[in-house]
Structure 1
């Protein structure tokens, strides 16, 4: 039900440029799927989707390395691109002439292959960052909000550390401890594995 693809490219923001490997997640069955965070390589993502119907392209946030393949993938498949409205200002830094097709608001519930995916607005890494929680799969897709070992980066434009920690505390650490955390980069973790470190993150100003 969950397919994992790693694509490589660059992340650019505030004049900086970094080589990155991104996790792309495909959720569904052998008939229909959604893609979470279409990064870098529309060819590879389209090949992984194959002949299945792509219902939607879901963006956890609008940093370029998570959305740069979105318009191309949408053109190939006809699937709509969904993004929280608070991240449209970041989207426009990458795609000046294209817009997302629809919003991905807090509390929305999407369905693919009989699986519900709930949208949790988790600002801090970006204003419109979201996590996508699939209770039936005991999984949350966190983008760059929460990683194995700590919160996502702050200190760049449109980010705020206290807001990010509050989002993790209030929206993610309230999920069941066994919930798998599938991240935007790097290795997976669990809610239970990260919860004990909340006070440490705050003290370190991570």
Structure 2
């Protein structure tokens, strides 16, 4: 079946099969977070984006081939509830944005700066710092050499708008500015967006609404 990105807590994961990379999306409770297991086809190495909750479900999704790393997109607690258990079970290396790492209770092995590249086997993932939802949120960009880019945006970009900035105009302006400059201005409409909650989208679907978001202020 074709990948849709529509997953529910307690439901079946959805698998997006690219030529060099396999992306498995699973939803975990209690806040219906998305977690993503990325697998390099060439080496079999795996990386988890957001050990959000339900470590048993995450370990089942990871399977028997282990895990080389876990990236936490930002410091909010619903994105790292299972991190300690997953790291203990797999020995995976931990990554997080350098500004958010102090707010994550599991030590960060590799603090990530804007523009840093995280390697997964032969796969390159470029980190982009997006400030506003938290001080050090990061998105990961996979620029597929056989197709279009894929962006894992945490809680910074969703279908219909940017992430929650808690009615802080400065934080909203910062987040929308970073999302505009670092995602919309540099990536094509075909870029597939994998958010921290809910369904996927594309930059082309959201691009026409940037001015609307700026006007409404959220």
TM-score, structure 1 as length reference: 0.87
- How many corresponding residue pairs? 190
Match of 2:143 among 123, 135, 142: 135
Runs of 4+ in structure 1 over 4 Å off: none
Q: What is the aligned partner in structure 1 of residue 119 from structure 2?
A: 111
Matched residues in 1 for 2:75 and 2:56: separation? 20
3-state secondary structure, aligned to 2:212: helix
Q: What is the aligned partner in structure 2 of residue 22 from structure 1?
A: 33
Q: What is the aligned partner in structure 1 of residue 209 from structure 2?
A: 197
Q: Structure 1: 5+ residue runs without aligned partners?
A: 10-19
Residue 162 of structure 1 and its aligned partner are, at CA, apart by 0.8
Which deviations, in whole Å up to 9, do the C-alpha atoms of 1:36-79 show, x marking residues without a partner? Answer: 01111111111111122311100111100111111111111000
Q: What is the aligned partner in structure 2 of residue 39 from structure 1?
A: 52
CA contact (8 A) 2:70 2:94 kept: yes
Q: What is the aligned partner in structure 1 of residue 66 from structure 2?
A: 53
Q: Structure 2: 5+ residue runs without aligned partners?
A: 1-21
Matched residues in 2 for 1:142 and 1:156: separation? 20
Q: What is the aligned partner in structure 2 of residue 124 from structure 1?
A: 132
Matched residues in 1 for 2:211 and 2:167: separation? 22
Matched residues in 2 for 1:101 and 1:179: separation? 29
Specify whether residues 168 and 2 from structure 1 end up closer, same or farther in structure 2 by C-alpha distance, changes over 3 A only: same
Q: What is the aligned partner in structure 2 of residue 179 from structure 1?
A: 191
Match of 1:2 among 23, 26, 31: 23
Which deviations, in whole Å up to 9, do the C-alpha atoms of 1:155-180 show, x marking residues without a partner? Answer: 179x8111110111101102111000
CA contact (8 A) 2:40 2:122 kept: no
Q: What is the aligned partner in structure 2 of residue 85 from structure 1?
A: 98
